[in-house]
Amino acid sequence: MNPWRDERLRPVLAACVTLGLAVGVFAISFGVTSVSAGASVGQTCAMSLLVFTGASQFAAVSVFGAGGSAASAFGGAALLAARNSVYGLAMAPHLRGSLGRRLIAAQLTLDESTAMAAAQEDESHRAAAFWITGLSVYLFWNLGTLIGALLGTAIDPTVYGLDAAFPAAFVAILWPMLRERRAALAAAIGATVCLVLIPFTPVGVPILCAALGILVGVPPPPLSASAASGEVVAT
Amino acid sequence: MTWGFVLALAATAYGFKVLGLVLIGNRQLPPMLDRCLGLIPAALIAAIVVKDTFSIGQHLQIDARAAGVGAAVIAAWRRVPLIAVIVISAVVTAGVRAAT
């Protein structure tokens, strides 16, 4: 069956639209922040179209806005963008295909698209969830940026609690994955490492170090676990 | 901000994004590596959740977001649909923020 027409992907579509709205409001505030930090409307839109990594973009323009140097703006933004390379490693097995397709997929490799793809229980839905989420975030992020850059006034996302929308969505996306013992352990290690490192390392580093959690995948799965999962499939 | 900065950051960001995808490409991976890479989303997304909930820059702090994300945890546990989890958390966060 064509995964795009599968009704089990409807929750993904619904979530994308909801998340898209939150992304859009943040994008408007990015557009405003960027222009007021001295970037032109063209540069602001080019950042969202080409850099397309929200946290990095915000980090860069806030350094410029505070009168910081280009070097420190660049360093902070690059550190925040680095985690996308780790997501690429996770997504590669699900995004097989022509080089051209993967080069486009690369631009859409983000927290949101990776999480939504990983959350699909059916392997055949992963690629579709990745593309739907990535394209929807791309659309809303760029639309919002343009509006903010032109308008110059933004809605404060925090007034509507939208800053909690992303971690909340990630909790909901993560939840079903945690039924698997190793994933739960990897998540616990990732969260702990991140929390411990936040006060001591530059922004962006704690998330990268959270990748330590994947080491729980090194030992082969115990036989009892695979037998148990076999039972689940059988019933 | 210069155009040079924008383009350099764009190239760097794209370089990071494309690295993993191209590095692995269409290769078949050994089972151990496959298991480890499969755990990346769980480890990193959990880290994003605690970072977005409990920190501002390099400071840890507990504020209205913790209430909103706490509500999201309960909602996710009760198997509320994703779209509703997002709305519930935003409403709770905004409510707690307005009240404090």
Contact A172 B82 (CB under 8 A): yes
CA nearest to A165, candidates B63, B65, B77, B56:
B65
Cα A218 to Cα B33: distance, rounded to the nearest angstrom: 8
Least CB-CB distance to B24: which of A38, A84, A93?
A: A93
Residue of A nearest to B27 (CA): A93
Least CB-CB distance to A167: which of B26, B29, B53?
A: B53
ipTM above 0.85, yes or no: yes
Contact A168 B72 (CB under 8 A): yes
Residue of A nearest to B63 (CA): A164
**What percentage of chain A has pLDDT greater than the value 90?**
68
* Neighbouring residues of B47: CB distance < 8 A, sequence distance ≥ 6: A190, A191, A193, A194, A206, A207, A210
pLDDT category of residue A235 using cuts at 50, 70 and 90: very low
* Neighbouring residues of A100: CB distance < 8 A, sequence distance ≥ 6: none
pLDDT of residue B13 exceeding 80: yes
pLDDT of residue A125 exceeding 80: yes
Q: How many CB pairs under 8 A join A and B?
A: 321
B75 vs A contacts (CB less than 8 Å): 172
pLDDT category of residue A13 using cuts at 50, 70 and 90: confident
Partners of B59 in the β-ladder: B56
Contact A191 B60 (CB under 8 A): no
A216 vs B contacts (CB less than 8 Å): 39
Cα A180 to Cα A183: distance, rounded to the nearest angstrom: 5
pTM (two decimals): 0.89
pLDDT category of residue A144 using cuts at 50, 70 and 90: very high
A86 vs B contacts (CB less than 8 Å): 20, 40, 44
Give the number of other Cβ atoms within 10 Å of residue A224's Cβ.
8
B82 vs A contacts (CB less than 8 Å): 11, 14-15, 18, 169, 172-173
pLDDT of residue A224: 56
